[in-house]
Each structure stands twice: as C-alpha cells, then as structure tokens.
Amino acid sequence: MASLHISLFGRLQCEVEGRAVTGLEARKVQELLVHLLLHRAHPYTREALATLLWPERNDAQARKYLRQALWQLQRALDAACHPTTPFLRTDADWIEFDPACIIWLDIEQLEHAYAATRQSDGATLTEAQVELLCQAVQLYQGDLLEGWYQDWCITARERYQQMYLAMLDKLIAWAEQNGDSMVGIHYCELSLRCDPARERTHRRLMRLQCMAGNRTAALRQYESCVEMLRRELGVEPARSTQLLYAQIRSDHFDAKEDFPAAATTPGAEMSELADVLAHLGQLQNALQQTLQQVQLDMARVEAALRRQMLPPDATMHENGAPPLPPILASPHTFRPLSG
C-alpha cells in the first residue's frame, strides 16, 4: 500500500509518493477530509457532519450529500493508495479514519512535538527535544488551511498557531540560554512573521540582537515594534519594552542578565497583559472578517432564493434568459484547492 502524505499548514496538499491525489477537487469533499483529520482521535457522527457541511439543507438532503461526498473521498483515496482495507470506517451512524492505516499528517507531527515538550521550559530542553521542536516548526509552512474562513477553521487555525508560537518561544529561550544569538534571532523572526504584533517577541529579539553585538538593529527593532503595535492595535509599547529600549539606547544593557528571571518583574507582567490584549485584538479582527463573509454569503443565498420563487416566465422576462437551476442542487461543485 502506498503511503498517504497530507499537509494542512498553508495550502491543503494530499499526496502519494509525491503525486497529488486526484478526485478531491470539490470543496465539500475537502472539508469532509479535513474534518475527519482534525477529529481523527474519535469517530464523527454522520448527523453532525451533514449539519456542519450543509447547514442550509434539511436532514434528508444533507445526509444524501454527505453520502455522495463520502463516496468521492473514499474512491479518491482508494484509487491513489490501493489499500488492503478502506481508509475510512463507516456504519449507519459513524465515520472515522481507520486507526490502523498509516497516514503522515503535518498537524499530527506538530501536536506530538508540542505534547512531548509541554512540561519543559526552553532553558531545560534536552538535545532530543530541541531536535524534535526544530523539525516540527519547519512543517509550519503557513497558517492552517490558508484561504478558508469558516468559523470551525478559524478556531482550529488559532489553536495551531498558538502551539507553533509556544514551541518557537522554547527554541528562542534555549538559544538565549546557550548564547546562540543567531539561532534565537531566526526563531524570533519566524514568530513575528506569524504574529507581527507579538510584543514579547519584539523584546526578545532586541535582547538577542544586543547579544550579537548589533545595538543598531536592536534600536530599529524597537521602532518596528512601536509601528506594528500602533498599526495593528492602536496601542503604545508596554513599560517593560520602553525600559529595555532605554537601557539599549543608553548603552546600559547587560547581555548576561537572566531573561526568564526578568519576566517576574511587575513591568513584565504588564507586558504579558499587553500581549494578551494584542492576541484578543487579532482574534476580534478575524471574527469581524468572518462575519462580513457570512453576511455576503447570506445576501447571495437570499437573492438566489428570491429568483427561484419567481414564476419561470417572470424570470425569463426579467433576466432575458432561462430560469436558474435550484441553488446548490448538486453537491458536485468542483473548485480548485484553496491556496
């Protein structure tokens, strides 16, 4: 049996021996696949899946569309891998991936690394844990399913992003503890690429740049932090960030000062609260974007329903064309994979 390789970070990719699996072009088939992968630890009820994927349809129609999408998914996986037993185990009420089937999944690799190092801080990581974290963060080629804006997707995306940032924090602390400023700078840059308004990471990057002997870069990093916080959140840097900047500017920064101990100061506690506020602000922006998309979709559906309620002659007269087919009459709506 060929090995199935699935990546959910960035763009959805499903490959077998380097070749893309065909037959997964329909968005609903993709969503069904992703839901089963995200909840692979336990079976998923048909009723829950049908309601989640086709909320606008009645129960009978939704379950029919689910059967069709499930058939397409199973057919595509079987054709690509030729397994001795089907990848999916199903009965009248439940659907799940067969735990006996071997699937390489990037989110599973990230989860494993996160769980294996969760009880360790950066300063006490073993060489094996560092290697595990390094390999895991390399898998994060972008946020989960970039371009997907469903509520369930945004929630899962946020969870994996926080796991990724937590692992980067451990690697940054490990690099700082071991005096490897260049490695620490690299992981700080990855963290800020994921969350540009993460003030705590800006501070750590300023410290690491000073440790590397680049005071000018540290001062410029503070300016970048100020600009990003104002643009993204409309706030000024926390007092601890301002104090660090003042120390660097006056050339009183002590690179030997223990960074974890500094986190116990009142200023650092205020900074942590500022980071939480930044996180909530980003989540609010994401929810607003989702709400706007939902409103647009509702308007389109309402307009389509109004057209369907018109008599055929009236629709022909109004549009100068034959009446439109029933909205979402077929689940086989093929779209390109989201990028």
Same domain (yes/no): 26, 142: no
Last residue of a domain, one of 285, 308, 329: 285
292 in any annotated domain: no
Same domain (yes/no): 45, 134: no
CB-based contacts of 52, cutoff 8 Å, min separation 6: 35, 152
Give the CATH number for residue 219: 1.25.40.10
Nearest to residue 290, comparing CAs of 152, 198, 160? 152
Confidence of residue 155 (pLDDT cuts 50, 70, 90): very high
Nearest to residue 12, comparing CAs of 132, 144, 128? 144
> Does pLDDT of 56 surpass 90?
yes
Confidence of residue 258 (pLDDT cuts 50, 70, 90): very low
Same domain (yes/no): 178, 250: yes
264 in any annotated domain: yes
Give the CATH number for residue 81: 1.10.10.10
Indicate the helix (H) or strand (E) that contains 286. helix 266-309
CB-based contacts of 302, cutoff 8 Å, min separation 6: none
How far apart CA 66 and CA 51 sit, in angstroms, is: 9
Q: What value does the CA radius of gyration of the chain take, rounded to a whole number of Å?
A: 25
Average confidence score pLDDT of the chain: 84
> Does pLDDT of 316 surpass 70?
no
Indicate the helix (H) or strand (E) that contains 171. helix 151-177
Which token pair is 267? 């200023």
Which token pair is 227? 């600009």
Domain that holds residue 281: 106-285
pLDDT of 7 reads: 97
Last residue of a domain, one of 285, 315, 330: 285
pLDDT of 285 reads: 63
pLDDT of 102 reads: 85
Same domain (yes/no): 126, 95: no
| Count of domains forming the chain | 2
27 in any annotated domain: yes
Same domain (yes/no): 145, 279: yes
103-105 and 4-7 beta bridge pairing: parallel
The pTM (predicted TM-score) of the whole model is: 0.74
How far apart CA 217 and CA 182 sit, in angstroms, is: 13
Percent of the chain with pLDDT over 70: 80
> Does pLDDT of 121 surpass 70?
yes
Same domain (yes/no): 157, 265: yes
How far, in Å, are 74, 169, 206, 274, 318 from residue 220 at the CA level? 54, 21, 9, 21, 62
Same domain (yes/no): 89, 120: no
pLDDT of 101 reads: 85
Same domain (yes/no): 37, 60: yes
Same domain (yes/no): 172, 78: no
Percent of the chain with pLDDT over 90: 65
Last residue of a domain, one of 101, 135, 156: 101
N residues, the chain = 339
Confidence of residue 2 (pLDDT cuts 50, 70, 90): low
324 in any annotated domain: no
SS3 84: coil
Which token pair is 224? 């970048």
The mean pLDDT of 276-299, rounded to a whole number, is: 67
Same domain (yes/no): 254, 170: yes
How far apart CA 50 and CA 315 sit, in angstroms, is: 32
The mean pLDDT of 279-308, rounded to a whole number, is: 70
